């Protein structure tokens, strides 16, 4: 029973390039959340998705960042024209199907550590 | 929106002693409070959680208490061991917040052998 899978584990990009981070939720989970963790800080919510739907993107920067969770395949967090300040660990979490507000626990992947040169 | 504060930011205890980490939250509607342990370079791991319909929950050496009136909850680790050294994060979730977790800023716990 594989956990939340994220790839790549480490990603290096030069300023101005694009970064694509992938997340496959646990089997049977259809809710995906992305969080960002700056060095020595806590996790900050970015976006919550269900299959083919963005439910809450209140934590996403208005520009350069986008997320999707297609019917088939992993969830993708995309950062265009990266800047040094985008360097962080990006974690994906998933939770089971269920009634909204059912307080299902979220399980995290190993994260993608993004470094911008 | 929800705001979670966590104290202390660092904590050192002798092996075998107890450790207590405290969090407060602002949204009285929040009803789910998980605790995560994160070792260096690794994923946050859920170690225990509590829902607002109970005041205390225990799992071996780990316990969590919740005071809804005061809007605070605490993690208690007894008989600490070196492998308990990690960063611990509390979080809160409101039923009206689209399932997102609001995290505290973390506590770096060091167990002194």
Mutation pick from B99, B106, B107 vs chain A, by most beta carbons of A within 10 Å, is: B99
Considering only the beta carbons, identify the residue of B31, B32, B100 that sits closest to A45: B100
Q: What is the DSSP code (8-state) at residue A83? A: -
Whether residue A6 contacts residue A21, with contact meaning beta carbons closer than 8 Å, is answered with yes
Local structure of B11: helix, strand or coil: strand
| Residue A103 pLDDT | 62
Per-residue pLDDT tens for A60-76? 999 999 999 998 999 99
Query: Rounded mean pLDDT of chain A?
Result: 91
Band the pLDDT of A22: cuts 50, 70, 90: very high
Cis peptide upstream of residue A8 (ω within 30 degrees of 0): yes
Average pLDDT over residues A29-38: 92
Q: Residue B113 has which token pair?
A: 């052998």
Average pLDDT over residues B49-66: 93
| Residue A100 pLDDT | 53
| Residue A29 pLDDT | 86
pLDDT at B88 over 80: yes
């Amino acid at each position: 029973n594989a956990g939340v899978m994220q790839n790549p584990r480490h990603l290096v990009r030069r300023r101005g390039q694009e970064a694509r981070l992938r997340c496959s939720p646990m089997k049977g989970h259809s809710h995906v959340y992305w969080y960002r963790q700056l060095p020595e800080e806590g996790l900050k919510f970015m976006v919550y998705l269900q299959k083919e739907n963005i439910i809450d993107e209140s934590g996403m920067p208005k520009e350069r960042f986008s997320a999707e969770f297609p019917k088939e395949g992993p969830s993708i967090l995309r950062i265009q024209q990266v800047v040094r300040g985008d360097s962080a660990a990006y974690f994906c979490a998933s939770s089971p199907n269920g009634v909204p507000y059912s307080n299902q626990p979220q399980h995290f992947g190993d994260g993608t550590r993004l470094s911008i040169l | 929106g929800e705001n979670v504060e966590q104290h202390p930011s660092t904590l050192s205890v002798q092996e075998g002693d107890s450790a207590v980490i405290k969090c407060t939250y602002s949204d009285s509607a929040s009803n789910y409070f998980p605790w995560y342990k994160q070792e260096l370079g690794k994923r946050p791991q859920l170690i225990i959680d509590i829902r607002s319909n109970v005041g205390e929950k225990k799992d071996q050496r780990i316990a969590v208490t919740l005071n809804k009136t005061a809007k605070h909850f605490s993690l208690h680790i007894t008989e600490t061991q070196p492998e308990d050294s990690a960063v611990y994060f509390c979080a809160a979730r409101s039923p009206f917040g689209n399932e997102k977790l609001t995290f505290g800023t973390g506590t770096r716990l060091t167990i002194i052998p």
